Structure 1
């Protein structure tokens, strides 16, 4: 018989494993960024994920109630753009900085849930949001360049995607939501790279550049990136099955530690005191917000 305590422990261990694998995914994406743009990295990340999801469909077909196709499409498109901005920040800054920006997602999720899902804003929630934005200001300082804009945009778009997922739970199998993300995450980069074949442009850090056929070593990183991301998703899902969302969400911040360690191995500089302070406030804000769920 599985006790509540052992179930919670299993959830924590699964989330730690997921965080470790997601940090590895970031590290492989960072290695690939030296030879290809963030658009192509996004393409490979989702193309491999699409194969993995398709295999699961073969063994266990999807059963949907349906009824919200436009929301499903919206989630796929927004999730893809969020991944594009995230991989851009990975290529432009350290892994620790990139993941801290992505972790602003709970701040925007609380605001969007209040606006679109009519979820109340408690006093603690408002305080947490203000603390989070203070962390963002400290992290960015007075230099609001493309990197900082894309970093914050990652958090905002991730929050949009997460909020839309919450509204889809009653209508679609979770694999349908993931499949929507994977399909658009493959098609949109293909469209961008196709445009880049004739009109190479750079819009807010999104480089519309032609497809670059991966080298032999790149294929290794591509496969590792896809596999670690897929298993990371599996373990994250199991974590939420075994333990409460507030506990799992709090443990998920361990990805920042793993990403920082992998970043140092890859040559990233140690975080400055300003980055540590700003990041700590964002993490504290996120933990407060997840505890409200």
Structure 2
């Protein structure tokens, strides 16, 4: 028996949309990994947002934006912080396996819960505190009990992403969601462009993730760039729609399917399987995120 689209419930639509978004986000990671061999994380960030801007403008043409406005500095903050988070994320993709990179990024719910408590005054239930503790144990375990540049960049990805998402909460009542995405993509083009110019004159080991010179893409790189931009843009769109159809806690839990997709693509690329210690840390982080999602 074939179920027609009209018989699918909103919850089922939300689940299917989040699964599609997770697949597209993992495809974004795959193409970013393929590009990492010929260009730095800064340029990957630039192209990801440049193509995404083109896709977004098509949607804006079809349905113009209407904003209440009133929080321009928060809007700018979201764009800048989100861009820096993307820079650190693409750096971790270039420096480690896809499964490790996405698990680092999935520390975001842990930091979001803490920031919501500190900045927005949201209450933390005992279960949420327990989940946060589990998450931090997972972070320490994932690092292999070492503090390296890669580990710092991975954790920074989670923290900055949480800061960006927390700021979005205060923007929802003032701006169309496409305006928030537009701010993110605009700075996602401008900041990498400035960094690539600066990289011609500046060198720094501490900021190696943010200083790459521009390298003109050639051959298959152009295909990966276009595929990355479209996958990221539509992944964002499907994720947003998923939260519209289903409860946030359920959608957040389903979003962890991106780890499975990313791990599969990583195996295709020849990634080495993680050690038992790293796998244990990853499982604790995933458990923490799911427990926090159930609180939503």
TM-score, normalised on structure 1?
0.97
**Is 1:50 the equivalent of 2:53?**
yes
> Does structure 1 residue 40 correspond to structure 2 residue 17?
no
Q: How far did residue 199 of structure 1 move?
A: 2.7
The structure 2 residue matched to 1:278, chosen from 274, 278, 281, is: 281
Determine the C-alpha separation between the residues in 1 that align with 2:210 and 2:107. 24
The Cα of 1:229 is off from its aligned counterpart by 0.8
Distance across 1 between alignment mates of 2:52 and 2:206: 26
Match of 2:153?
Answer: 150
Is the aligned partner of 1:16 residue 2:32? no
1:212 paired residue number: 215
Give per-residue Cα distances to partners, 1:12-60, cap 9 Å, x unaligned: 1111111011001000000000000000000000111111111111121
The alignment status of 1:227 with 2:224, answered yes or no, reads no
**Aligned mates of 1:154, 1:280 — CA distance in 2:** 18
Q: Which runs of 5+ in 1 are unaligned?
A: none
- Rounded Cα–Cα distance in structure 2 between residues aligned with 1:2 and 1:210: 51
Write out per-residue CA displacement over residues 128-166 of structure 1, whole angstroms, 9 at most, x where no aligned residue: 000000000111122201000000000000000000001
**Secondary structure at 1:44 match in 2:** helix
Q: Give 1:205 deviation, angstroms.
A: 3.2
Q: What per-residue deviation string (whole Å, max 9, x for no partner) do you get for residues 80-128 of structure 1? A: 0000000000000000000000000000000000011110011001000
**Matched residue SS, 1:197:** coil
Mapped partners of 1:165, 1:44: distance in 2 = 23
Contact 1:200 1:209 in 2 (8 A): no
Identify the range of structure 1 (14-23 vs 204-213) with the bigger mean alpha-carbon deviation. Answer: 204-213
Q: Is the 8 A contact 2:28 2:231 kept in 1?
A: yes
**TM superposition shift of 1:200:** 4.0
Counterpart position of 1:161: 164
Distance 2:204 2:112 in 1: 32
| Deviations 1:183-226 (CA, angstroms, capped at 9, x unpaired) | 00000000000111233444333242321100121001001101
Picking from 235, 243, 248, the partner of 1:245 is: 248
Number of matched residues?
Answer: 292
Correspondence for 1:291 among 282, 288, 294: 294
Which residue matches 2:9?
A: 6
* TM-score of the aligned structures, taking structure 2 as reference length: 0.96
Q: 1:203 aligns with which of 198, 202, 206?
A: 206
Alignment partners' CA distance in 2, 1:87 and 1:199: 20
1:200–1:207 contact (8 Å) kept in structure 2: no
CA RMSD of aligned residues (A): 1.3
Tell me how far apart the structure 1 counterparts of residues 264 and 117 of structure 2 sit (CA, whole Å): 36
